[in-house]
Structure 1
Amino acid sequence: FVFPLCLLFLPAVCGQLNYYFYRNTCPDLERIVFNAVISAVMNETRMAASLLRLHFHDCFVNGCDGSVLLDDTDSMIGEKTAAPNHNSARGFEVIDAIKTAVENSCKAIVSCADILTLAARDSVHLSGGPYWPVSLGRRDGKTANKNAANTNLPAPFESLDSIINKFQAVGLSVQDVVVLSRAHTIGAAHCNTFKSSLFNFKGTSSPDQTIEPSLLGNLQTLCPENNNDPNTLASLDPMTQDRFDNAYFKNLQNNEGVLQSDQTLFSTPNASTVPYVNFYNNYPYAFFMDFHISMIKLANLSVLTRSDGEIRKNCRFVN
């Protein structure tokens, strides 16, 4: 089963990444990461969504190379202050803690990129989502790209065509757009990511009329027009905000998507994404299988291996 999946997703990577990469050099790696993610999620359930998002934001910029983890230096501006990440990307301290635990067990062996990939998988599984094997052997990039983070990452207020184009630019399909967007069944969003839909939708000085009325009222109360508190959050799935379940697609069918980028998957007339939303709502087990397939594709985007990149001593800085 694993071998065909490898052939299906970026076969050029298959000989370089493998499921047993650290079997001899760091045999306890997956246990160390899993235990650390359990601890972080038990301390704050929202952290599962944050680690998953961090992995997504890493892979969409320069590939899955840990570039999102880098701090600014005198010679390099990192991605943390890019618009999609600034004051919203989080979980860096969790990755730091995992890296420290891994280094204590097997020094200078495991990349930060592999740690982040495993942590994202474990976050999904601990939230009730599927478990899938993660191929390993990524190396860490030596630079970051703030401009690419601003340009490449899909924004919550973008049109469906723009979102699809950004996915296709990195080799992901329309189906992957729907499947990976469903990660928003867990987590929360800042008011400023969707407030324009509540009061001034596309410059009309009125809300988006497609939003279900009771949800609209609740969000307007939570995020009043004259309140710009960056710490106010809205659950992306109010009923089961910490559970990786199938409610996401039902919410879209009921016009209850909090983010415009989610609701547009179902509300855009004649969109190629609508049949996928309907199918996955009816067949949740099919979704679970397709989600782990899309996550494998995501995790294999433009990875560095072998002599490329490095194994960072500290995930925040190049060696």
Structure 2
Amino acid sequence: MKKVDPLLVGIVIAAVLAFLVPARGGFADGFAVAVKLAIALLFFLYGARLSTQEAIKGLTNWRLHAMILAFTFVIYPVVGLLARPTTAIISEDLYQGLLFMTLVPSTVQSSVALTGVARGNVSGAVVAASLSSLVGVVATPLLVMWLMGAGDGVHVDASVFGDIGLQLLLPFVFGQLAHNFVPRVGELAQSKATKIVDRGSIWMVVYSAFSKGVVSGVWSNVSLWEILFLVVFACALVGAMLWLTNALPAALGFPREDRIAVQMCGTQKSLATGLPMATVIFGGASLGVMIIPLMIYHMSQLIICSAYVSRVSQHDAQ
């Protein structure tokens, strides 16, 4: 029996703490600064982990990367727009959160790990997932401005690019520089100890965002039926995308290893990247409600994709 993912356990604990002991006043202000520093450190480590030479070499598999980017930033946003009628069941804020979930980049760690378990193209997945995060720094706020800017209560202007560049892209660039010019930084960034930063930054963002929601009272507007609907929607979407990310590449003649990479990178949405981006782009009291669809989808994708790759690996072993 598999152990429960510590990331998911931490998310639940952070959310419960926010309900019981939400951040208020001066502590909330100080904690907000700590969140920004943790996010910057996270993206510095992302930059330090990836070899520049490996990234350049991996970029030559342009069909793989184009397919993953198309699923991440074209097909998913279309699904988000088509889900507009769900406002008959869920609130406008939750729908905006669902739409935002479809706009964020792919994961890095989980998609690569799952690709490896299923014996797919691991090196291609590393570059593709990292490329998705880089493209997302620009593509996600652009899509938010285009698709969500006209939504009720969602107002995004061009200054978001400066904020994201300062908090996300600049630390990543410094990480790349450190990887190439500072001895052993790359090894340190790839060590197991850095998982504390990965998970810790997510837990901090969850606690901060949920605290804002608790203090402002927005949780009183979220019903159990809405949560159940989002769980069903997320599971159905993951399942449908797992099928489509295999069927389309297969029709285009992709080898099996690349199809696995497309499946694992093309169906994933990054909580680690999405939450910091939501914090920078939106902020405010509504953030706590708007990140619920992303959190639910993240949990669903991990559970379903883990079960899927386990079945695939067992089938290959026979």
Normalised-by-shorter TM-score class: under 0.3
Task: Answer 1 or 2: which has greater helix percent.
Answer: 2
Which structure is richer in relative contact order (CA contacts within 8 A, separation 6 or more)? 2
Question: TM-score scaled to structure 1, two decimals?
Answer: 0.25
